[in-house]
Structure 1
Amino acid sequence: MPLCAGAVQAANSAKPNIVFILADNLGYGELGVYGGGILRGAPTPRIDALASQGMRLLNFNVEAQCSPSRSALMTGRFSMRSGTYAVPVGGQTDGLTLWEITIAELLSGQGYRTGMWGKWHLGSAEARLPTGQGFDEWYGIPRTYDEAMWTAQNQSNSMWPSFGNKQGWNADVVAPEPIYEARKGQKPRQVGTLNLQARLTMEAGITDHAVAFIQKNAREGTPFFAYVSSSMVHMPVLPNPEFAGKTGNGDWADCLAEMDARTGQILDAIRDAGIEDNTIVIFASDNGPEATDPWQGDSGPWRGTYFTATEASLRAPFIIRWPGRIPAGTVSNDIVHIVDMYPTLAAVAGAKVPTDRAIDGVNQLAFFEGKQPHSNREGFPAYVADRLSAVKWHDWKMHFIWQENMYDAPITLAEPRIINLLTDLKEERDVGAKASWLATPMMKIVYDWEASLKKYPPIKMGTPDPYTPATSRH
């Protein structure tokens, strides 16, 4: 006999809501609680307070670029598996195949309402937009914020000087990026065009949509997954006019202040809706800091920029709050990877992860809740695009390819370089000759990874739909 509507609603209300705020290119050293804040020109009181109310990770790891990290979050799979290992170049088939099962699809299957706002970066074709990949609603852009600069390339000003070539950007040659509103089962509706003016108000729009979604579902007693894909602090780093000049320390600091305030709006919406105790809030970043002048970010104690395998690229801020379940004020330096969010959030919702494919993430719920002292992850292989560049294991790292800045040429090392990440935060000293035993556990990660690629052949970048997995090789 089917459950009555009241029983279904009661069962659903027991499931915790999930709000995942993913900052864009926010370096390790930006937030006050990670040693930034006023040192970067703007305090971050709301995010700092969130950290004191839950768990803060010092060794949360992401992939080296935007699309790969977002793919890893959505699928629980390293991006090399799904053909999303690099930011796509214009003109190619991009994004996740429809064969992938996203976390939004898993949560939808458990009765969650799912919403996403901001940059998707996992497919530009209509079928591959968020509402084709498990989300009930979406507001944002399919690709990336730097396309906002196209309309300014022929303007003569201090930030974007003229290139001195009449063959500048032309909308008839390459169309501007659309801003969409979309609902599952309906054709996406273009509500704007991404230009510099629209860029200024994107964060406000993202926040307003997220707040409305939280309020609506709280009123209805429906569990929800809110994926807030923040536009801050991706280049061009430009604040909303409401925040321009607020810090007196320039655009970058103003944007940091705006990001903190927008996060506060979302936290206030959760509190005011009376659902704070039954809502998991996660604040994280998809990448290390920006490397492009004049928007360079800060990597804190680490070396490098994103688009590399340095710690500055791989380590990102991560805060998780779940009142009564995750002990407040917890700090850990254990390794956690963004792929781990997939099985962890699935476990929270009572969903089962797929068994017909490789899932690289591990469930970290018991670790987060303080039921065990350490993470369930010892290490991972680190790719930059399609290059296996390094491997991490506990407090050690082995580099196969060295690249410090995204604009540097990657150099294949004659011998792998082993770094002690506790004594050498800048990754300057190779200790391999003194601790050659480390090669065994670290290379095991590599060999196991390579074996899994044989068992589950990876999807090639640019693969169109429909996709059928190749026969696995044992």
Structure 2
Amino acid sequence: MNLKQLLLIFSVTSILWVSCTSISKKEETPKRPNIVIIFLDDSGYSDFSPFGQKKIQTPNVQSLADEGVMFRNFYVPQAVCSASRSALLSGCYPGRTKVFGAHGPNEKGLDPKFPTMGEVFQKAGYQTAIFGKWHCGDLDETRPHNRGFSESCGLMYSNDMWKHHPENPDYWGKFPIKFWENGKIIIDDVDYEHQEMLTKWYTEHAVDFINRHKDEPFLLYVPHSMPHVPIFCSPEFEGKSGVGLYGDVMLELDWSVGEINKALKQNGIDENTIVIFSSDNGPWISYGNHAGTTPYREAKGTTFDGGTRSATIIKYPTQLKGKQESEHAIMTIDLLPTLCHICGVPLPESEIDGKNVWDIITDKKGAVNPHDYYAFTNDKNFEAVMSSDGKWKLHLPHNYRTMTDIIGKDGMPGKYDYSAKIELSLFDMVNDSYETTNVINKHPEVAEKLMDFAQMHKAKFFSE
């Protein structure tokens, strides 16, 4: 054998060795976890069977709870659409981003200087998608296709901001609500027949996305338009609940959860996928039989727990044991840094308010919430703080809305009383989660500590 032949054999052997080593390393390197976030709109805490629903069966949400952990004390920092969604995606309090309330058509929304979860994970190599209601900006630079989501479809804002609004049709009729897909308008003027299909369309897009990206890490965000009024379901679910349209809507949302969960299992990626199921805030109770239910005080549009506490399930089979319940307090602002930690994704360079609470989620022995407090706002008003262990909540003096005897029915809203007031009040959330009894005189030292946190938060975000 001559030298040329020896060199050829050596070269081929080296290539084969490198190739085999590369394959071996690839097989040894675990795929980064996938993330699925299902975020409902105005869903009540008690709308699904794991959290107290008795009138209708929601087997798919029940299965999700059986496979994951139910969080009884999961909060949003503001109980209104845009503020809540922007906090989830940016990891920031509304006081930092200045996204308060519910933004309408053609509004800027979340400033691009605050990176979204989509941008953070897309930069790290994740496939990203949003199928559902965006409501974080309706200008080109703030729509989802320019905010880190490679695939998208849905509405840019709430489905009641349209020509059939029950109280202001002339005003909202000036802004035809559009259905977008991947940065292009697919439907120029959404009408009744389109609203009926929203839940189904979002679900079909989500399942298709999972099927196509099963072999690569992905972030899938499914913020449903329902059950925000006006409520609709596809023809397949009409009348199926036996308790009215709201029940039918719940059945279809439960079906959607089942379809997404099934797609993960059929593609063999269920074990390596983090699924988070929650709602942007509590129910819009002025709509009566078209609204969900909550056992807690008040509802959407307030800083009481009826507005800010959302029934939540987190499922991650390889890390979280199923059929568990957690009483730990956590907030949506914590999801971005926690998911970054789990997935090995760098945090955004800009400052955020959320913290990694993975030890709290996994109930690690001795784990302590890294926050000093959680803060709650209503529109631009800073109104309450809670101790990070969820034991105490201090309401600053403020006005709030509460229902009158005029309750809404069949899509028409009832009447609020906006003159209700609460004085400086401390609530023991362990023994009085319904915020009924002010115990500030019994625990002045607790109130003083929370007031210090409130002053710090106010100085940081509301000093202008």
Inter-partner Cα distance in structure 2 for 1:189 and 1:12: 41
The yes-or-no answer on 1:100 pairing with 2:114 is yes
Counterpart in the other structure of 1:353: 347
Query: 1:7 deviation in Å?
Result: 9.0
Q: Which residues of 2 match residues 159-174 of structure 1 at below 5 A?
A: 169=170, 174=174
Counterpart in the other structure of 1:204: 200
Counterpart in the other structure of 1:22: 39
Q: Which residues of 2 match residues 35-434 of structure 1 at below 5 A?
A: 35-36=52-53, 39=54, 41-62=55-76, 63-89=78-104, 93-148=107-162, 150=163, 152=164, 169=170, 174-182=174-182, 187-218=183-214, 221-357=215-351, 359-372=352-365, 374=367, 376=369, 377=371, 379-393=373-387, 394-400=390-396, 401-405=398-402, 407-409=416-418, 413=422, 415-434=423-442
Query: 1:348 deviation in Å?
Result: 1.9
Counterpart in the other structure of 1:472: none
Inter-partner Cα distance in structure 2 for 1:239 and 1:437: 51
Query: 1:368 deviation in Å?
Result: 2.0
Inter-partner Cα distance in structure 1 for 2:436 and 2:108: 37
For the aligned residue pairs, the C-alpha RMSD in angstroms reads 2.6
Inter-partner Cα distance in structure 1 for 2:394 and 2:429: 10
What letter is aligned with 1:74?
L
- Asked if the contact 1:103/1:346 (under 8 Å) is kept, the reply is no
**Higher relative contact order at CA 8 Å, sep ≥6: structure 1 or structure 2?**
1
**TM-score, L = length of structure 1:** 0.84
Moved over 4 A (4+): 3-13, 410-413
- Aligned length in residues: 428
For residues 274-324 of structure 1, the C-alpha deviation after alignment (integer angstroms, 9 at most, x for no partner) is 101111111011101112324453443211111001111110011011112
- Asked if the contact 1:116/1:138 (under 8 Å) is kept, the reply is yes
Provide closer, same or farther for how the CA distance between residues 66 and 412 of structure 1 changes in structure 2, counting only shifts above 3 A: same
Q: Answer with 1 or 2: which has the greater Rg.
A: 2
**Is there any run of 5+ residues in structure 2 with no aligned partner, and where?**
1-18, 404-415
For residues 343-394 of structure 1, the C-alpha deviation after alignment (integer angstroms, 9 at most, x for no partner) is 011112212223442x111111222233345552453111001111111123
- Asked if the contact 2:285/2:293 (under 8 Å) is kept, the reply is no
Q: Is the deviation greater in 386-395 or in 112-121?
A: 386-395
- Asked if the contact 1:141/1:179 (under 8 Å) is kept, the reply is yes
SS at 1:68 equivalent: helix
Inter-partner Cα distance in structure 2 for 1:10 and 1:360: 37
Provide closer, same or farther for how the CA distance between residues 5 and 12 of structure 1 changes in structure 2, counting only shifts above 3 A: same
Provide closer, same or farther for how the CA distance between residues 10 and 145 of structure 1 changes in structure 2, counting only shifts above 3 A: farther
For residues 167-200 of structure 1, the C-alpha deviation after alignment (integer angstroms, 9 at most, x for no partner) is 95389x6131110101xxxx52334532222110
Counterpart in the other structure of 1:466: none
Query: 1:240 deviation in Å?
Result: 1.1
Inter-partner Cα distance in structure 2 for 1:6 and 1:68: 46
Inter-partner Cα distance in structure 1 for 2:365 and 2:417: 41
SS at 2:263 equivalent: helix
- Asked if the contact 1:237/1:295 (under 8 Å) is kept, the reply is no
Provide closer, same or farther for how the CA distance between residues 33 and 24 of structure 1 changes in structure 2, counting only shifts above 3 A: same
- Asked if the contact 2:117/2:336 (under 8 Å) is kept, the reply is yes
What letter is aligned with 1:175?
F
The yes-or-no answer on 1:438 pairing with 2:446 is yes
Provide closer, same or farther for how the CA distance between residues 5 and 309 of structure 1 changes in structure 2, counting only shifts above 3 A: farther
Query: 1:146 deviation in Å?
Result: 0.9
Counterpart in the other structure of 1:465: none
Query: 1:451 deviation in Å?
Result: 4.1
Provide closer, same or farther for how the CA distance between residues 378 and 120 of structure 1 changes in structure 2, counting only shifts above 3 A: same
Q: Identity of paired residues, percent? A: 29
Query: 1:6 deviation in Å?
Result: 6.9
SS at 1:169 equivalent: helix
Inter-partner Cα distance in structure 1 for 2:133 and 2:101: 16
Query: 1:13 deviation in Å?
Result: 5.8
Provide closer, same or farther for how the CA distance between residues 126 and 191 of structure 1 changes in structure 2, counting only shifts above 3 A: same
**Is there any run of 5+ residues in structure 1 with no aligned partner, and where?**
154-159, 459-474
Query: 1:107 deviation in Å?
Result: 0.6
Inter-partner Cα distance in structure 2 for 1:168 and 1:42: 33
What letter is aligned with 1:395?
K
